[in-house]
Amino acid sequence: MPVIRRLLLTYLSLTLVVLVGLALPFGYVYQRGEQQHALAQLEHDAETLAAFIDTALPVNHDNRIESLVRDAAGRWDAQIDLVDGAGRTVVSTRPDGATAPRLHRVLTADTPVFGEFGERTMSVAVPIHPGRPSQGAMQVSVPNGPLTDRIHQFRLVLAGVGVAVLICGTLIALALARWIGRPVRELERATRHLADGAASPASTTTGPPELRRLAATFNTTAVRLQNLIAAQRSFVGHASHQLKTPLTALRLRLENLEFDVAAGGEANLRAAVLETDRLATLVDTLLAMTRNEHGGVPPEPVVLSGAVAARAAVWEPVAADRGVTLSLRGPQQVSAQVVPGALEQILDNLIANALDVAPAGSTVAVTWQADGTTAELHVADNGPGLADGDRVRALQPFWRAPGARKGGTGLGLALVEQLAVASGGRVRLDAAAPAGIDAVVVLPV
């Protein structure tokens, strides 16, 4: 998941948790406050009406009492139940004439004042005369629709405010995530370009101070790394080039000594010539690797069958001289994307290595195939092979297997891997059956 999306989700999650943690308790407190206030107001109105009724009871003004009750019920849109001390109904505004069932709790003084919220109404029961519940009691029930509407309206307002805060938080979080993520993306871009060999400094003008310092440090490190690599390439290239001329002159001098050396020194002379040739091969390989490290050459499509056949024709006499058969097998029209000149060097190094270890009478098989996105080139021998760990180390520069022939440089497979990577491919060494090494070069098609 991109860093901006992760930061955005984190900020929004925290904002949502805070909003829910504040809105739910606030809504509950508001609802409880409104209910308590409504019950208190209804209780006050009920006690006021009870006081008027209490003054009319001693003179037994029943008409007056009923008038007071019905007038209050009309004003409050309420249902009022009035009972005497024996629990008999004096006045009831209910359509069915029934008496409120909870008035007996007030008459028996179990609950001097009783209030509750129902599904559609809220009710308050009070004694007619405070302190003397045996004189009678009254219950007032009013619809709680207006109160419920106010609570719902408040919840809607609270939800709207929460949505507005969430939107503002989203915009702020998006801006903050971009502010933090921009230098991260710059570092990613600069790192990718540095890995591709085209250095591009990361921007240090935006983002948090820590990331700007990190970008500045990366730019400094990248410049130093490029300078070190350039110095290394220059040294290897110049040193290898400067060595070629004296090595050539040294070999010529050694060859001229052939007729002047006594019979006992011929072996030493041949050994000196071989070491000179090995050193010349090492120089040529270092020059090839240096040229390849500079890169910048795009791969081109090459038909594998033609390139393999051309290099096999060159190595066929060497194989025949060592009693090894060189076999080729693969489709005719398989192409691969390779840096110009790289496939020939890859084949030369792999075939040379295979011939060096292949026993007389064995076969070095060169095969190739394609699966739609990649092409594989195999060079397999029947030599002694390598252990698993050695097959990995064999691709490292200057590594040589224990017991390897004299005269090798340890750079052939390293050059093969370098050329394959420059072409967008890779190299691996597998175990061949029944013995030996299967060198596999995977290239894009």
The number of distinct structural domains making up the chain is: 3
Write the secondary structure of the chain as one string of H (helix), E (strand) and C (coil): CCHHHHHHHHHHHHHHHHHHHHHHHHHHHHHHHHHHHHHHHHHHHHHHHHHHHHHHCCCCCHHHHHHHHHHHHHHHCCEEEEEECCCCEEEECCCCCCCCCCHHHHHCCCCCCEEEECCCEEEEEEECCCCCHHHEEEEEEEECHHHHHHHHHHHHHHHHHHHHHHHHHHHHHHHHHHHHHHHHHHHHHHHHHHHCCCCCCCCCCCCCHHHHHHHHHHHHHHHHHHHHHHHHHHHHHHHHHHHHHHHHHHHHHHHHHHHCCCHHHHHHHHHHHHHHHHHHHHHHHHHHHHHHHHCCCCCEEEEHHHHHHHHHHHHHHHHHHCCCEEEEECCCCCEEEECCCHHHHHHHHHHHHHHHHCCCCCEEEEEEEECCCEEEEEEECCCCCCCHHHHHHCCCCCCCCCCCCCCCCCCHHHHHHHHHHHCCCEEEEEECCCCCEEEEEEEEC
Q: 328 and 433 in one domain?
A: yes
**Domain that residue 389 falls in:** 297-444
With 0.85 as the threshold, say if the pTM is over it.
no
Q: For the residues 123-135, what does the mean pLDDT come to?
A: 75
Predicted confidence band at 57 (pLDDT cuts at 50, 70, 90)? low
Residue where one domain finishes, among candidates 270, 289, 308: 289
Predicted confidence band at 286 (pLDDT cuts at 50, 70, 90)? low
Domain membership of residue 114 (yes or no) is: yes
Q: 140 and 86 in one domain?
A: yes
Domain membership of residue 183 (yes or no) is: no
Q: 95 and 28 in one domain?
A: yes
Domain membership of residue 146 (yes or no) is: yes
CATH number at residue 260: 1.10.287.130
Q: 302 and 283 in one domain?
A: no
Q: For the residues 34-57, what does the mean pLDDT come to?
A: 84
CATH number at residue 112: 3.30.450.20
Residue where one domain finishes, among candidates 289, 309, 333: 289
Q: 387 and 436 in one domain?
A: yes
Percent of the chain with pLDDT over 90: 11
CATH number at residue 439: 3.30.565.10
Q: For the residues 70-91, what does the mean pLDDT come to?
A: 82
Q: 395 and 344 in one domain?
A: yes
Domain membership of residue 193 (yes or no) is: no
Instruction: Using the predicted structure, report yes or no on whether residue 370 has a pLDDT greater than 80.
Output: yes
Instruction: Give the pLDDT score at 197.
Output: 65
Q: 426 and 303 in one domain?
A: yes
Domain membership of residue 319 (yes or no) is: yes
Instruction: Give the pLDDT score at 97.
Output: 53
Residue where one domain finishes, among candidates 124, 150, 176: 150
Q: For the residues 19-25, what does the mean pLDDT come to?
A: 89
